[in-house]
Amino acid sequence: MSSTLAVDLMGGDHGPRVTLPACARFLHAHPDSRLILVGQAEMSMLLLESLRLNGDARVEFVAASELVTSDDPIEVALRRKRDSSMRRAIELVRDGRAQACVSAGNTGALMALARYLLKTLLDIERPAIATYLPNQKGEGTLMLDLGANVDCEPLHLLQFAVMGTAYAAAGGHAQPTVGLLNIGEEVIKGNDTIKRAAELLREADALGRLRFYGNVEGNDIFKGTTDIVVCDGFVGNVALKTSEGLAQMLSGMIREEFTRTPLSKLMALLAMPVLKRLRKRVDHRRYNGAALLGLRGLVVKSHGSADAFGFEQALLRAHEAVQGDVVRHTERILEVMHESSPHGAPFAPAS
């Protein structure tokens, strides 16, 4: 199945020098897909020529005169930079010309623009950022929120669980389990927000809206104890950055230890197939690309420092989400919940 993706070329630490080569690699791997590239004309056109993308029928270029920087306040992105590459890319999704937008730009601005232009789905108060983190089972644990909502109410955590369930199910994971991140597995652990959220999740499980496993701890993310882990954006972002740092540290330590002495170099040569597989499994770039869930359109956020391989993975996440029809799948679940709930309040506690 093909997809049409709008790409913000200017976002991130490296801009078109990374995003355009990633687009070329993505098109090579997915020849039936189309890309609408949005960026400042002069730099982008030179790179398009060098990558032999100019004139490719699968590529359309949309000029944008402004870019949202990492230091721009949300108000600037929303009100002043109306011709930014980020805004234009999201507008392509809103107008139906693209099925998803991919950007490595300012996270706060991206979320604010996406929410303003695309609006939220039925009954969803706050969109959330979700991505897969590596686990021992090799399948990945879906975690949300990863930074969009620092302060959350119990109801928001329940909504994240529903959105995460729909996202995982659209990706082919039947009846995914949900864990609530806490400081212990016991019901009595956690602050009042977490305890109340656990009550709401148990009620949702009893009503058949999702499968709630219970409380999970930080190590359960990487064990793969549950398919989905729900938390507020502050905790989620810290966990995400910590996992990336640990993966980089492990890769560096392996490289250092096996180059210390001639004997260690020989051992590294013998162990190379295993080391390559290990490095691939913990490579955080393979998991780049976080979906902004709860919107009436699909937006995928790439890490700002991603290289071409990492940004290509974000394009792949968007492509897979389009194939899974994530937005419509989530809409259907929310519509069923809304219609079957008393007074149209699907996230209200059971009476």
Q: Tell me: do 277 and 203 sit in the same domain.
A: yes
Task: Look over the chain and give the mean of its residue pLDDT values, rounded to a whole number.
Answer: 86
Structurally, the chain folds into a number of domains equal to: 2
Exposure letters 281-302 (e unless 16+ CB within 10 A, then b): ebbbbbbbbbbbbbbbbbbbbb
Domain membership of residue 299 as a residue range: 4-124+294-335
Question: Quick one: average pLDDT of 20-35?
Answer: 94
Cβ atoms of residues 34 and 3 within 8 Å = yes
Q: What angle do CA 241, 246, 249 make, to 5 degrees?
A: 125
Establish if 139 belongs to a structural domain: yes
Distance of CA 320 to the CA centre of its chain: 12
Strand partners, 38: 8, 62
Q: Tell me: do 138 and 196 sit in the same domain.
A: yes
- Element housing 198 (H / E): helix 192-206
Question: Quick one: average pLDDT of 291-301?
Answer: 95
Q: What confidence category does residue 350 fall into, taking pLDDT thresholds of 50, 70 and 90?
A: very low
User: Cα–Cα distance between 291 and 278 in angstroms, integer?
Assistant: 26
pLDDT tens column, 202-221: 998 998 889 999 999 999 99
Q: Tell me: do 120 and 136 sit in the same domain.
A: no
pLDDT tens column, 95-106: 999 999 999 999
Q: Tell me: do 275 and 329 sit in the same domain.
A: no
Cβ atoms of residues 45 and 129 within 8 Å = no
Q: Tell me: do 298 and 326 sit in the same domain.
A: yes
Q: Tell me: do 164 and 31 sit in the same domain.
A: no
Q: What confidence category does residue 335 fall into, taking pLDDT thresholds of 50, 70 and 90?
A: confident
Distance of CA 138 to the CA centre of its chain: 18
What is the three-state SS of 7-59?
EECCCCCCCHHHHHHHHHHHHHHCCCCEEEEEECHHHHHHHHHHCCCCCCCCE
Does the pLDDT value for residue 10 go beyond 90?
A: yes
Question: Quick one: average pLDDT of 25-29?
Answer: 93
User: Cα–Cα distance between 299 and 117 in angstroms, integer?
Assistant: 11
* DSSP letters for 70-110: TT--HHIIIII-TTBHHHHHHHHHHTTS-SEEEE-S-HHHH
Establish if 145 belongs to a structural domain: yes
CATH of the domain at 99: 3.40.718.10
